[in-house]
Amino acid sequence: MGRYRLYPTDEQTAGLVEHCAHARFCWNLALEQWECWWPGRPHAPGYVAQSRQLTEARSVFDWLAAGSQTVQQQALRDFDQAKQNFFAGTHRRPTWRKTGVHEGFRIVGPQALRVEKLSRRWAQVSVPKIGWVRFRLTRPVPEAKSYRVTLDRAGRWHIAFAAIPEPLPGPDDGSVVGIDRGVAVTLALSDGTTHQAPVDRSVKRLQRRLARAKIGSKRRGKIKARLAGLQARNGDARKDWAEKSSTTIARSYDLIRIEDLKVKNMTRSARGTVAKPGRRVAQKAGLNRAILGSGWSMFATRLGQKAKGRVEKVSPAFTSQRCSGCGHFAAESRKSQTVFCCVACSFTDNADVNAAKNIAAGHAVTARGGLGVVDLPVKREPQLRLDS
């Protein structure tokens, strides 16, 4: 998907905000009709019935008729597709869209093809009832049949053309690499190369000022805007790092093995419940922020898309405790965060690189010390054989 920075004028900005409000209104109204249904009642209206209702509503309400029918109908189409994805089990249940959070609309059809290049750095796109809006031409515009206009919390407009890019080719030399993800060292490769995610700029000071500001005041709005801008800057730096790192690795190796980490489960809160309160909640929260700030999931997702068919996921169980030299498994071999010294063969290496070498070999150690790549572990308890 090609995403570009949109630069509308003040008059065009007002029209884009109105389009976002109408799309959000149609989505929430369709969701309300769907939520009101329960077993025993007639089925909730589908897209065709809701389109007829939209036509009737536009004839009654002038503010709705002043908007773009294309934007409003596409919001109903998007909601209908979201329902189908939910029932298919591929996506979550559709939720309410909120002002300031879900700001955007989609254009599909011949109108989405009206794009003109103005110069080497600028182009313009036609938006219904808005006119030609300029955007920054940072890369060639892909051939797409739809685009989506969004407004982020930092007040920046973007346009994204829906197009699936081609996967990146590998070097075709049979090279294999393993990637170990961590907090101190974001990416450690089996050949000794490391990639470090950028450090986020601190937002604590602005968060404290926001907590002390009076709700609804202008001061609170200014602080909130500054905080959103700083968080957007951190997110842009993290995304830029993930894109560049995944591109470099996808072009440098033929087969890429990476840990199959459940990042969502790893970053769950340790707060617990009232009956069973959690322990070391603050420490776990700090670890969660460090993991999320490293962009593990973003990197893995983009790597899988760029090196499609060349990425294998390996179980991360005990890969940091296995010696990549002799294969001995011992927790005592991990001397520190950076040092690995095997207690059996005295093999010494960087701890993260040693784990990456195990991942590159596809070795995942089971709880009993065996290799996960075989059917039975090497170290098994003795069993009695009964002769018949």
Q: Residue 180 catalytic?
A: yes
Name residue, tokens 């419940």: 273
At residue 8, the pLDDT reads 96
At residue 378, the pLDDT reads 41
Question: Hey, is 350 helix, strand or coil?
Answer: strand
At residue 376, the pLDDT reads 36
Alpha-carbon distance 276 to 188, whole Å? 37
Tens digits of residue pLDDT in 184-213:
999 999 999 999 999 888 899 999 999 999
Instruction: For the sheet with 194-195, list strands across it.
Output: 194-195, 187-189, 176-181, 255-259, 311-314
Token pair of 18 as six digits = 């109105």
Token pair of 14 as six digits = 């007002």
Q: Residue 352 catalytic?
A: yes
Residue 249 CB contacts under 8 Å (≥ 6 apart), including other chains: 177, 179, 189, 195, 256, 303, 307
Catalytic residue selected from 78, 180, 200, 349: 180
Question: Confidence band (pLDDT; 50, 70, 90) for 374?
Answer: very low
Tens digits of residue pLDDT in 40-82:
777 788 899 999 999 999 999 999 999 999 999 999 999 999 9
Question: Hey, is 214 helix, strand or coil?
Answer: coil
Tens digits of residue pLDDT in 301-319:
999 999 999 999 998 888 8
- Residue 287, CB-side half-sphere exposure with 13 Å CA sphere: 14
CA angle 274, 275, 276 (to 5 degrees): 95
pTM for this entry? 0.79
Catalytic residue selected from 259, 260, 375, 381: 259
Task: Name the average pLDDT for the chain.
Answer: 88
| Secondary structure E strands in the chain | 2-7, 104-108, 115-117, 122-127, 131-136, 146-151, 157-161, 176-181, 187-189, 194-195, 255-259, 311-314, 339-341, 348-350
